[in-house]
Chains A and B, each alone.
Chain A
Amino acid sequence: MSDLLYVLSRLLRAVAMILGVVVLCFVLVRLAPGDPAQLMAGDAGIDDPAYIAQLRQSMGLDRPLPEQLLAYVTGIARLDLGYSYPNRASVWSLISERLPATLLLMGSALLLAATVGVLLGVVAARSRQRRRWLDGLIAQGALLLYAIPPFWLAMVLVLVFSVQLNWLPAFGMQEVGGQLHGWALWRDSLAHLLLPCLSLSFLYLAMYVHLARSAMLEVMAQDHVRTAYAKGLGYWRILLAHQLRNALLPVVTMVGLQFGQLASSTLLIEVVYAWPGIGRLLYDALSQRDYALLLGVFLVIGTVVVVMNVLVDLLCRLLDPRIQAGALY
């Protein structure tokens, strides 16, 4: 009963937050210098004030700002995010066409970073007593990965694996012009995904290694773990139920907090690898002053981040009974 109430209130707050994101982005975009009507007219080679005014009117830019905002927000409810004039298409159709690619990249990178990161962190923490070198190797290696900027790493990976070794494709999501089906299509997609996913995940992997390692070290020193040993429990039971489970809490919390960062890194990586996601879309929208598209991308990314945070909150609640009872915070 209280669980349902909690979920409802959390969703309500999420909707309010997304609305806040919309308003903020809307105002910020309008405050930025540059006029799309003028830009479009310039592209067409026309410098007639009357023509520009007409363009502005047709794009709805002549109405007062609050009115434009209201029209935009009511449009969202109908999935009408406006019209992208430079692309001659509705914003929603542009985004929905490319969103799956972005989500695939983000999701696979996050999954890789979190699972491998936690695994390595646990191995490092457990090696601290008897195989110190392994702990040192993992911790230092993670630090090295952490220090490398993802976009630079992306370029190096392309140079090595695509240009020099020619093992993996350098860009795109599928072989251009290749009519592939079934298993071959899977293989091809995976090959295309591998480099972008790795370049994106390394930074976060490094963070999760460190986080999981320090959380594990902390939990391993706790009294309840000693109790577990004193009870004569088996190796795996102690590791999984008493150490890893407790150590996961800070990691899960961090995943939620960093999701926004991950989204922005994804957009950058997409540009480097020409990944057909919304990163490229955003890049073009920026240079073309395509207000409607820009706002649409912001809105969708903001929504994804907020939704992810709601999920993480619910997961934390599931993992830690103290949060449910309000005994923490």
Chain B
Amino acid sequence: MNSALLEVEGLHIALPPGGDRSHALFDVSLALQAGETLCVVGESGSGKSMLANAILRLLPPALAPRQGRVRFRGEDIAALDRQGLRQLRGVGIGMVFQEPMSALNPLLRVGVQIGETLRAHGMKRAGERRRRVIELLGYVGLPAPEQLRRRFPFQLSGGQRQRVAIAMALAFSPAVLIADEPTSALDVTTQAQILQLLQRIQRETGMAMLFITHDLALVQTIADRVLVLQKGQVVEQGAAQAVLGAPAQAYTRRLLAAALPAANPRPSPADAQVVLGAQGLNKTYSSRHGGWRWQHTAALVDVSMALRHGQTVGVVGESGSGKSTLGKALVRLLRPDSGHIQWQGSEVAEWPQRRLRPLRRRVQMIFQDPVASLNPRQTVAAILMAGPVAHGATPAQARARAELVLGWVGLPAAALERYPQAFSGGQRQRIGIARALSVAPDVLIADECVSALDALVQAQILDLLETLQQRLGLSIVFITHDLRAAARLCDHLLVMQHGRVVEQGASAALLRHPSHAYTRTLLASLPGPGLVESRELPPAQQEAR
């Protein structure tokens, strides 16, 4: 035990009164040895980020640990003075955060942001700092470091920013790297690259890694040991193979089940009527660049698709592939530059909004962010009744309808009088689905509707969509960057890249024999066991893997 690099012993952190539980962390202990990767797993709110921040004493004073201690190389970090703490943070332990968009200061060049770490810890000569910055940027696999160090964060992609953040954390080759969901905000392909990078650095420098994630598939790829957190308590801890192969706790098994794809894809109803169709859609965005020049981005290039009654069509691709634009065009929230769109036979691509309104109830949308897409100043009742009332229902009818759809999504009627803030992320997404269903649509367009949710809640929402589809005969367009979710729900897939559909077909066939190189890259980037192989195994064998 004493040989451990980083030790956490019986850590208690109390939450301010009024929270949903009294402790953020309750009696958490762990030990990290040099060179190993410990994955901390749990759903959001389980306290895993709190744990990471507590190790570096980054929590506000109100959340200071009540009991327990954190030791780095045998030294209690609670006893460190300001100078010692700075030394611990910049030199001993590096940290990489989840959001590559916001984790860097938007106003400073990335080279400056890495350089200031070096300067703060004693590298006084500017030339020396510059050389080290360039070296670090090159080390994390960024192209042309000499030019890149002069860029601002907004000029880099999400993956590049995360590489910069990693370079920053590595400035003094720390003995421990704490990575708090470092890839959750990234595409699968970028995620795979960042994971490879972290593993390479670990191999080369022998640093230990505390990796925090909610994605068990990812854990399977990188973990030596796993610690499962639930509501601030450690429910299970041990070697990765033991915990993942034979989970002792029900909670771990639930997390595992959520990470695996559904056993059998549904057959595609190939002969049903087409309820939503599009042919040859084109859309180009133009933006002013530097005041005078215009920059054009092709978001949709000659995209065609058909959604049949009762079918679920998945649209997959990385961010920027045009999938969200396709979703918006299909509900006619934007007008395509050219092409055709049919809603149950009516050609609507060119219709003005006023003419579309009576048909709007047939095609409804579920949005990505369940927090931002519900008006915080309206009660759930007001949110759910607005649609039916706009389409001519009386308030009494709308109210009855609201209670009905709320029941469908598994929420009690008492929820009607409350405001969206009173609900968790998963519950809010249920409200979002209820809102879409309130006007009895035939078609749902779900744009990344589970991406903001944890694995467990994701699985619940996907199950809900599937049940509702069978019950109500819905047809769904499911837009996602998550192949795993798409494979679980969809019977037909469209793969998009740079605004084009590069491949499409029945899910099972497409995932088993991808023909386009891009699809193969997407599949290869998925962490954990592949989608198709595991699907063909009986459940018992899956667990043994």
Could you tell me which A residues sit within 8 Å of B by CB distance? Answer: 2, 5-6, 9, 129-130, 222-224, 226-235, 237, 241-242, 245-246, 319-322, 324-327
Which stretch, B285-293, B303-311, B339-347, B443-451, touches the partner chain A?
B285-293
Closest to B95 in A: A230
Q: Which one, A130, A233, A246, contacts B107 given CB within 8 A?
A: A246
B106 sits at the interface (CB 8 A): yes
Please give, as numbers and ranges, the residues of chain A lying within 8 Å of B168 by CB-CB distance. 227, 231
**Given A231-B89, A232-B121: A237 and B103 within 8 A (CB)?**
no
Q: Is the CB of B120 within 8 A of A224?
A: no
Could you tell me which B residues sit within 8 Å of A by CB distance? Answer: 53, 56, 58, 60-61, 82, 85-91, 94-95, 97, 99, 102-108, 116-117, 120-121, 152, 154-155, 165, 168-169, 171, 287-292
Q: Is the CB of B104 within 8 A of A233?
A: no
**Given A233-B86, A233-B117: A320 and B292 within 8 A (CB)?**
no
Name the distance in Å between A322's Cβ and chain B's nearest Cβ. 5
Please give, as numbers and ranges, the residues of chain A lying within 8 Å of B289 by CB-CB distance. 325-326
Q: List 23 interface pairs A-B (beta carbons < 8 Å), by A numbering.
A: A9-B291, A129-B61, A224-B104, A224-B105, A226-B103, A227-B103, A230-B56, A230-B97, A231-B117, A231-B171, A232-B88, A233-B86, A234-B120, A241-B108, A245-B107, A246-B105, A319-B107, A320-B107, A321-B106, A321-B107, A324-B290, A326-B289, A327-B154
**Given A231-B168, A232-B87, A246-B107: A222 and B102 within 8 A (CB)?**
yes
How far apart are the CA atoms of A324 and B88 in the complex, in Å?
A: 37
Among B85, B106, B287, B292, max chain A CB count under 10 A is at B106
Q: Which one, A5, A233, A320, A327, contacts B120 given CB within 8 A?
A: A233
Other A-B pairs beyond A319-B107, A321-B154, 14, CB < 8 Å? A2-B292, A224-B102, A227-B105, A228-B105, A229-B89, A230-B56, A230-B95, A231-B168, A232-B88, A233-B86, A234-B86, A321-B107, A326-B287, A327-B154
Name the distance in Å between B286's Cβ and chain A's nearest Cβ. 12
Q: Which one, B53, B90, B155, contacts A231 given CB within 8 A?
A: B90
Name the distance in Å between B102's Cβ and chain A's nearest Cβ. 4
Q: Which one, B53, B91, B94, B154, contacts A325 given CB within 8 A?
A: B154
Q: Is the CB of A233 within 8 A of B155?
A: no
Please give, as numbers and ranges, the residues of chain B lying within 8 Å of A241 by CB-CB distance. 105, 108, 116
Please give, as numbers and ranges, the residues of chain B lying within 8 Å of A322 by CB-CB distance. 106-107, 152, 154
Q: Which one, A5, A9, A227, A326, contacts B288 given CB within 8 A?
A: A326
How far apart are the CA atoms of A16 and B87 in the complex, in Å?
A: 56
Q: Is the CB of A224 within 8 A of B103?
A: yes
Name the distance in Å between B11's Cβ and chain A's nearest Cβ. 19
Closest to A232 in B: B90
Closest to B87 in A: A232
Please give, as numbers and ranges, the residues of chain B lying within 8 Å of A229 by CB-CB distance. 56, 58, 89
Please give, as numbers and ranges, the residues of chain A lying within 8 Å of B89 by CB-CB distance. 229-232
Q: Is the CB of A223 within 8 A of B97?
A: yes
Please give, as numbers and ranges, the residues of chain B lying within 8 Å of A231 by CB-CB distance. 89-90, 116-117, 120, 168-169, 171
Please give, as numbers and ranges, the residues of chain A lying within 8 Å of B102 by CB-CB distance. 222-224
Please give, as numbers and ranges, the residues of chain B lying within 8 Å of A9 by CB-CB distance. 291
Please give, as numbers and ranges, the residues of chain A lying within 8 Å of B292 by CB-CB distance. 2, 5
